Amino acid sequence: MVGKSGFVERNLNIIFPLPAIVFVLLLMIFPVCYTLFISFTDWTLTSGRPMRFFGLGSYLLVLKDPRFHAAILRTFAFTFGAVAAESVLGTIIALILNREFKGKGPLKFVLLLPLVVTPVAIGIVFNLFYDPTIGFLNYVLHAFGLPQSGWVTEAATVLPSLMLVDIWQWTPMIALIVLAGLSGLSSEPFESAMVDGANGVQTFFRITLPMIMPTVLTAIVLRAVDALKTYDIIYAMTKGGPGYSSETLNILAYKLSFDYFNMGRSSAVLVFLFLVVLLFSLGVMTLRKKFEL
């Protein structure tokens, strides 16, 4: 017993983090490495032959595919449109909630509700809202004498319609992160601004915004990384349609895997998506460090 106790005490720095290390290796590092390995093969489930090394063949086929190029543009368009709107609206909501007013507590509770709803349920509900014939939104447009829309059934409006769903669900997350940053700000700069006679607009742009910018950028990174990988809402509502008009990189990878059973090309698409997410995260975090200086 003494020997065992001595071993544990001598190796606490290894034993305590070991479960976390095993978790990261099995559920994070291994899937990424395995996907990278498959991307260098020509593994096709319907071919009836074992996978074989294909080198950069899958990557070259993906890069030549116009469908892949269009998916990249849709992924960036969806991410930029949704995250830009969420960042602006979330910051405005956080500034409002940072003040004391009656009903602030219930309003925060309501703000959290979109975050706890499952994406598939959100997709089903919004599909009912967007329905061209019985949908609530077209009913409202008709009541005001405005032209009705096909929403997710038309190629021209499907991406903006999906962005609206994403904005509704994830703006509260941005607001809560920015609100946490606002609550941690020192009051001294604001008191000095009041003494110097600065108005509200000057105080916001010269003091508040620069001080919370690192927090805002952190929220943008978290939200953008998730938006780049969005799958559930899009698949639940449109499955990448109509046609390919809402097919992002994640949806394309899914279809290549489970519709066409081409695991090699699907893995190559996912590797490209991983690189996009990685480069974007590094770029924004580098920008964040400049605001901290």
At 4, is the pLDDT very low, low, confident or very high (cuts 50, 70, 90)?
low
Instruction: Please report which residue ranges of 117-186 form alpha helices under DSSP H.
Output: 119-130, 136-143, 158-183
Q: State the pTM of this model.
A: 0.88
Q: Which of 159, 150, 132, 130 is nearest to 247 (CA)?
A: 159
> How would you label 84-94 residue by residue, b for 16+ Cβ within 10 Å and e otherwise?
ebbbebbbebb
pLDDT digits 0-9 by tens, 79-116: 999 999 999 999 999 998 888 888 888 888 888 889 88
Q: What band does 291 get if pLDDT is binned at 50, 70 and 90?
A: low
Look at the block and give the residue holding tokens 């490209």: 272
User: What residue ranges define each of the domains in the chain, with the CATH number in brackets?
Assistant: 1-31 (no CATH), 40-292 (1.10.3720.10)
Give the C-alpha separation, 184 to 215, whole Å: 11
Q: Hey, is 53 helix, strand or coil?
A: strand
CA dist 274 and 282 (Å) reads 12
| Beta-carbon count within 10 A of 31 CB | 11
Written as six digits, the tokens of 272 are 């490209």
Q: What are 30-61's pLDDT values in tens digits?
A: 888 899 999 999 999 887 788 889 889 999 99
